[in-house]
Structure 1
Amino acid sequence: MSKPTIVLVHGAWADASSWNPVITELQSQGFEVLAPTNELRGVASDAAYVSSFLAQRTSGPVVLVGHSYGGVVITNAGAAGGDVRALVYVDAFIPDEGETVFQILGGSGSAFDIPDPSVVFDIAGYPGAPEGDADAFLKRKTVFDYFAQDLSEVDRGLILAGQRPITLSANTAPTAATAWKTIPSWAVIGLADKVIPAATQRSMAERAGATISEVDGSHVSMLSHPQAAIDAILAAAATVGD
C-alpha cells in the first residue's frame, strides 16, 4: 500500500514553519509532506484556497492536518478538493455547521474569552478591509503566558516576531461545511492549552467521533511535544492508501 500525502495547515499567528519538527520526522519516514499557506483572511476564502491547493498539488490519498484555526479551514475544505481520506486535528477547532471561533470559545475559560480583546490582541487596520474588520496580532504577554508557554524564551520570541495576523472577521464567520461528518478524524488534545481549553477540544472531538489522544502541551504542542502530532498522523496514515 502506497503512503498518502500529508498536508499540514497552520493556524493563526503562524506559518508553515510551525510544523517543522513534524515535517522533518514524516519526511524521514518517506512521506510526501506539503504545508501550504493558510491566508488567515476569512473562513470561506481560506478554505477555498486550501481546497484548490489540494486539487492541484496532490494526487492520490491525502491525510489533511490542521492546527488551531487550521482546524476550521480543513473542516470546510476537506471534502471540497483532493482525495482526503483522513483528518487530523492538533490543538484545533472542530466546528459544526454555523459555528464560529469566538462562539466556540465563549464560556470556555480560554485566555481569549474576555470582554476586552485589546487585553490579549493588538488590533491594526489593513488595506482594503471591509468596514469594521481589522487584523489581530498577539501581544507579547499573550504569546509568552498563554499561547506558547512551554517553549523556550527564544522560541517564544520567534513566534512573537514572525506572527502572521488573522482578521477579526475570520473568527466571526460561520463554518459552512463539515468534512468530519464524512471523513474519519483524529484529534490531539493539549492538556495545558490556554487558547482552546482541553475540555472544549475534547467536546468537539467526541462530537466528531474522532480518535482522541492527549499530550501535556500548550496550544503549540506540535512544537513543544511534536511526537504526539506525529503519532496521530501516522495512525491516520496507516488507515489510508491506494
Structure 2
Amino acid sequence: MSHHRTRFLAVLGAVLAILLAAVTPAAASYPKGPKPTVVLVHGAWADGSSWSKVTSRLIDDGYQVRVPPNPLRNLTTDAATIRDFLSTLSGPIVLVGHSYGGAVITNAATGNPNVKALVYVDAFAPAAGEPIFPLAGADSALAVPPENVFDSVPYPGAPAGDVDLYLKHDTFVKSFASGMPRSQSEKLYPAQRPLTLSAGFTPSGTPAWTTIPSWYVLGTRDLIITPTAQNFMATRAHSAITRIPAGHLGLLTDPGPVTKVIEKATHTVR
C-alpha cells in the first residue's frame, strides 16, 4: 500500500508541475524572452508622479518599470539625459512619453537597438527640425499671447532671453488638468515643474518613430495638444491610435486604458 501511495503522489506532483507551467503568465505571454522594461518619461509642468497610477498597474502586472526625471531644460540635452539612462538598462525596452516627454523619447530612442516600441500619450511626436510649441495646434490653450498663459521666471545661468515658464493658475486647472476634479487639479498646480522657453523652440532631431513601431493614446478632449494636432502627428508616425475621451492628463484620469495600450505594445516585443 505504501509503494502505491508513493507512486501516486509522484505522479500527482508531476501533473501539477505541468499544469502550473502551462498557466504561468510570463511563460504564456513571453515565450521567447523576458518582459521588456517599461520606461515612462513625464512631460512639462509635471514630474514622475504623474505616472503613478500607470506605474502601479504595470508593476502589479509583473513589469519592471522605471520613471527617470526629465530635466525640462532643453530638448537636445533632455533627450541626451534619457538616452544615457536607457544605456544602463539591459534587454528590450518599451519607451513611453507624455506631452513634452513625447518629443524627448522621439530623440532619445534614435539609434538605440534595445528600444523596441514607442508609446505616445497625449504627446508631441515631432519630425526632424520641428520645435514643439507650434505643434500644439491652432486651437490649443497655449496658442495665445504668452503673457496670458505663462508666468515667466528668471533662472541662474539662463541664455539671453530665456526664462522658466510656469502655467498660470487658470490655464493649469481649466486646460492642462481638464477632466480632473477641481479639488485635485488645485493640489497639483502648486508643484508644477517649469519648462524653459528655449526648450519649447528647440528643433527636434532625427525621429525614432521612423524606425521603431509606435502606439498613440489620443485624448479627444485635450485642450493643450489638440486632438487634431495629435491625430496629425500620430498618423504621420504610422502609430497605432487609441482614442480615449480624456483631457491632457489622461494618464491620471484614465490610467486603465493608457496602461492597456502600453501593455499591448510590450506584447509585440520578441
The verdict on a shared fold, with TM-score over 0.5 as the criterion, is yes
Distance in structure 2 (CA, Å) of the matches to 1:211 and 1:148: 25
Q: 1:92-103 residue pairs with structure 2 within 5 A? A: 92-103=123-134
Give ranges in structure 2 of 5+ residues lacking alignment: 1-29
Q: 1:1-242 residue pairs with structure 2 within 5 A? A: 1=30, 2-56=34-88, 58-81=89-112, 83-105=114-136, 108-114=138-144, 116-241=145-270
Q: Report the 3-state secondary structure (helix = DSSP H, G, I; strand = E; otherwise coil) of the residue aligned with 1:143.
A: helix
Give aligned pairs, total: 238
Name the larger-Rg structure: 2
Higher relative contact order (CA 8 A, sep 6+): 1
Shift of 1:55: 0.3
Post-superposition Cα deviations, 1:95-143, rounded to whole Å, max 9, x if no partner, equal: 00000112213x52101011x2111110100000000000000111011
Structure 2 counterpart of 1:98, one-letter code: G
**Bigger helix fraction:** 2
Distance in structure 1 (CA, Å) of the matches to 2:111 and 2:41: 15
Give ranges in structure 1 of 5+ residues lacking alignment: none
Superposition TM-score, scaled by structure 2 size? 0.86
Distance in structure 1 (CA, Å) of the matches to 2:157 and 2:141: 29
1:51, 1:82 within 8 Å by CA — same for their partners in 2? no
Structure 2 counterpart of 1:202, one-letter code: N
Distance in structure 2 (CA, Å) of the matches to 1:7 and 1:108: 31
RMSD over equivalenced CA pairs, Å:
1.0
1:62, 1:82 within 8 Å by CA — same for their partners in 2? no
Shift of 1:193: 0.2
Superposition TM-score, scaled by structure 1 size? 0.96
